[in-house]
Structure 1
C-alpha cells in the first residue's frame, strides 16, 4: 500500500530545514524502493515550507514509523504530518 506523507513546516523554521536537509536526504535514500517520490512544497516566496513524500508500507502504523524516523520530524520541523493511503493511478511506472 502507498501512503502520502503531507508535511507542513512550522512557521519561520527554514534554517532548521536547511540544517537538517543532508540527514533528511540520506534517510530518504536509505528507504530504497519503499520511497516512490518526494519533494518540498514551496511558498509564495519559492522557499520550501513543507514536504510531500510517497512511500510504500505494509500498513498505516509502518508508514507512521517511517515518517517519525525522518530527521526533519525528529528535529521538530513539522507543525503537522498527515498520512493518507494513496492510489497511484495515473503515470505509475509500475503499471506498464
Structure 2
C-alpha cells in the first residue's frame, strides 16, 4: 500500500535541514534501493525555500509508513513540526507496474 508522508519543518529550521541533508539523502537512497520510496522532494515556501517534505512510500500498513518516517535523519534531528501519514492512491501519471 502507498502512503503520503507530509512533513512540515519547524519554523526557522532551514539551517538544520541543510546540515542534515546528506544523511537524509543517504536514507532515501536506501529506501529507493529497497523499493519502498516511490517519490520524494521538498515542499517550498513562498520564497522558494524548503519548508517541509513530501514522500510517497510503500509499506504494509500505516504503522510501517510511520516507522519509515521516524527513521529519516530529518525526523531524528527534530526538524519536523508535524508529520502526517495518509494512505495514497496514485491515480494519474503513475509509473507502469
TM-score under structure 2 normalisation? 0.95
The residue correspondences of 1:17-96 to structure 2 (distance < 5 A) are: 17-31=17-31, 32=33, 33-95=35-97
Q: Secondary structure at the match of 1:93?
A: coil
Distance in 2 (CA, whole Å) between partners of 1:3 and 1:28 is: 15
* Runs of 4+ more than 2 Å apart: none
Aligned CA-pair RMSD: 0.7
Q: How far apart, CA to CA, are the structure 1 residues paired with 2:4 and 2:87?
A: 6
Structure 1 unaligned regions, length at least 5: none
Q: Give CA deviations for 1:4-58 in whole Å, capped at 9, x if unaligned.
A: 0000000000000000000000000001211000000101111000000000000
Q: Which structure 2 segments of 5+ residues have no match?
A: none
Number of corresponding residues: 95
Normalised by the length of structure 1, the TM-score is: 0.96
Query: Distance between the aligned counterparts of 2:11 and 2:42, measured in 1?
Result: 15
